[in-house]
Amino acid sequence: MAGYPTHVRIVEVGPRDGLQNEAGQIDTAAKVAFIDRLSQTGLEVIEVTSMVNPQWVPQLADAEEVYRRIHRHQGVSYPVLVPNMEGWKRALATGVQTIAVFTAASETFNRKNTHCSIAESLERISPVLEQARSMNVTVRGYISCALGCPYEGDIEPHRVADLAARLNRLGCDEIALGDTIGIGTPLQAKSLVKSVAEQVPLERLAIHFHDTYGQALANILACLELGVSVVDSSVAGLGGCPYAPGASGNVATEDVLYMLHGMNIHTGVDLAALSKIGRAICAQLGRDNHSHVGRALMSGKR
């Protein structure tokens, strides 16, 4: 495997993964404005929302309206999360062109998150993938708890690799390996990617790390060394998981960009513009900015 990539595609998950766990209901217009501002920063991918049952994630009950109202920019992809055929039908009716499906490497977490086993979750998404392929809709597959589970502890890399191989065979164009509770460390992250890359082409892999133990940037760097070139992040470190006790926010997009740009790795994203959006959304939500870079820029240190 080669060294550092020359270009990294940032997948901004703030509007979906970042907002889904916020306690107070966020106005639809605010979500649309948030996404529209992100669209002007040079991001290539912005995960907009999720077509899950509003009963489980009330914050995203306005999924269709949000998607319809955003101003889609040429060259920017706007995927939505789809849990099953019902979600697929909603996405299709809304005009969605890129979707994401999900499962987990932990049986217990999968039952908490989707109320079914891993095998059953694959059965749910198989017809979605089949229809998406027939309509040339791009599909990303998420694997949660790829480095550890709040209920089962450590997850062996071969379990994740086998699951990733199944998603690949089902037709996922890209597979994101998620450290849902942010428990992983660099050598574990590297071991995971190496294991999965034996069954799925490296260029089809993405990484999605939470920063619970402050290891996300180190884990990303370790994976970049292997040639991984797709990184998920959330502006201002927004996010968490309602089904993963103790999981804090995603790694902050500002922090990832600062590291990548300092390594002369191209992203096409305007860090200064993105950091302003991070400050604005935190002020709007009444919460702290979890981006180190965002806070440093706000204080005028650079």
Catalytic positions, please? Answer: 241
The whole-angstrom separation of Cα 195 and Cα 158 is 6
Helix then strand count (H, E) for the chain reads 11, 9
Token code pair at residue 248 = 């804090």
Q: How far is the C-alpha of 114 from the C-alpha of 93, rounded, in Å?
A: 23
**Cβ within 8 Å of residue 27, ≥6 positions away:** none
Closest Cα partner for 260 from 201, 207, 299? 207
Contacts of the segment 133-138: beta carbons below 8 A, 24+ positions apart: 133/171, 135/92, 137/96, 137/97, 137/98, 137/99, 138/77, 138/79, 138/97, 138/98, 138/99, 138/173, 138/174
Alpha-carbon Rg for the chain, nearest whole angstrom, is 18
The residues with which 99 forms a beta bridge, in sequence order, are 80, 139
Per the CB < 8 A criterion, the answer to whether 122 and 156 are in contact is no
Cα 23 → chain centroid: 20
List strand residue ranges (DSSP E) for 180-255, in order.
205-209, 230-233
Sequence-ordered strand ranges (E) for the chain: 9-12, 45-46, 49-50, 80-81, 98-104, 138-144, 174-179, 205-209, 230-233
Residue 13's H or E segment, with its range, is: none
